[in-house]
Amino acid sequence: MFAFEWWWMVAVLPLPLLIRWLAPAVPARRQVAIRVPFFDDLHHLTADSGPVSGSSLKLLIASLMWIALILAAMRPQWLGEATDTPLSGRDLMLGLDISGSMRERDFQIEGRSVERLDAAKIVASEFIAKREGDRVGLILFGDNAQVQTPLTYDLDTVQHFLSESVVGLIGSSTAIGDSIGLAVKRLRQRPADSRVFILLTDGANTTGAVEPVDAARVAAENGIRIHTIGVGADRVTVRGLFGTEVINPSKSLDEPTLKEIASLTGGEYFRARNTGEMVKIYELINDLETTELDGVQLRPLAELFMWPLAVALGLSALLIWYRSRI
């Protein structure tokens, strides 16, 4: 539908007439009469110039220009169909370990071995797609932690930057404590009871300025709930010089610390040994962190003031051109 935002501006429309009525007329200057012997010829020429005199045409252009300016000042708008848009949800940060150990190829996707990080990106991307109505952000950590995507409703952007993360981008160590501290910094100003941090790692804290448990205590004080996910298979068969042997590729995983972090903040600890378990874990977290949405109707709005404003500018140019011709 079409509407005016400032419809009351129409009251300004008769302002030029009001000024002309109230302002005193400028007295005409007395001029010396000039006798023109061919006056009758000039009179015939001007009389044949057309039904509209020059002054009348200038007045008409000026009037149309004023009307166009008033229409622009009234802010004409086009309102589209109302749509239900979710505006309330959780503030959810994802913390993803991209240290060197995430290169371990102990996960399977469609029958082929893939790196832990590749499996985590695929599953996390599907999880993000289901968080409509939530603000989601992404933290990557290695030697240190950095915000890859701030909290945003634009889930496509978060998925894009998640897909571009690579192992070793910010070092080969694991700064778990720093990632929690950065999440606290980003989430503590958000509304209470909606602050969630999901931390995924395959190792132990090996660097950083903050100890993970100390950072978890600060998170708990700020009402931030942390769910931790430990990734990596327990058993992998590898070929050696003397045949095959079974090894534990996740021996560096610090499960006690991850459990303590979750416990201190009211979250849950999950163990993902394969892709299937990781999918189920994110489904469980999705159920735990349900989003209560308030359906709010919004109308797409398009401002149209530029069109009457362009007409006014065009008429002013026409008026200037016309006055320069006479």
| Sequence ranges of the domains in the chain | 85-296
Residue 39: which pLDDT band, with cuts at 50, 70 and 90? very low
Q: Measuring CA to CA, which residue among 185, 175, 119, 126 is closest to residue 150?
A: 185
Q: Is the pLDDT of residue 296 over 60?
A: no
E strands along the chain, which residues? 2-4, 76-79, 83-86, 91-97, 107-109, 112-114, 135-141, 145-152, 195-201, 225-231, 236-240, 243-247, 269-272, 295-298, 301-303
As a whole-number percent, the residues of the chain with pLDDT over 70 amount to 83
The pLDDT value recorded for residue 318 is 86
Under DSSP, is residue 196 helix (H, G, I), strand (E, B) or coil? strand
Residue 167: which pLDDT band, with cuts at 50, 70 and 90? very high
Please give the CATH number for the structural domain made up of 85-296: 3.40.50.410
pLDDT tens digits for range 196-225 = 999 999 999 999 999 999 999 999 999 999
Residue 111: which pLDDT band, with cuts at 50, 70 and 90? confident
Say how far apart CA 241 and CA 249 lie, in whole Å.
18
pLDDT tens digits for range 227-254 = 999 999 987 766 766 667 777 788 899 9
pTM over 0.85: no
Q: Is the pLDDT of residue 88 over 60?
A: no
Residue 26: which pLDDT band, with cuts at 50, 70 and 90? low
Residue 317: which pLDDT band, with cuts at 50, 70 and 90? confident
Average pLDDT, the chain: 84
DSSP label of 30:
P
The pLDDT value recorded for residue 138 is 97
Which of 6-20, 124-138, 143-157, 282-296 is the least confident region? 282-296
Q: Is the pLDDT of residue 142 over 90?
A: yes
The pLDDT value recorded for residue 21 is 82
The pLDDT value recorded for residue 49 is 47
Q: Measuring CA to CA, which residue among 46, 58, 48, 38 is closest to residue 325?
A: 58
Burial (CB < 10 A; 0-12, 13-18, 19+), residue 97, is buried
Evaluate whether 97 touches 141 at the Cβ level (below 8 Å): yes
Q: What are phi and psi of 53, to 5 degrees?
A: -75, 170
What number is the average pLDDT over the span 103-130?
Answer: 92
Residue 35: which pLDDT band, with cuts at 50, 70 and 90? low
pLDDT tens digits for range 44-82 = 544 444 444 567 888 888 889 889 999 999 988 888 776
As a whole-number percent, the residues of the chain with pLDDT over 90 amount to 48
Q: Measuring CA to CA, which residue among 93, 127, 90, 89 is closest to residue 226?
A: 93
Q: What are phi and psi of 37, to 5 degrees?
A: -65, -25
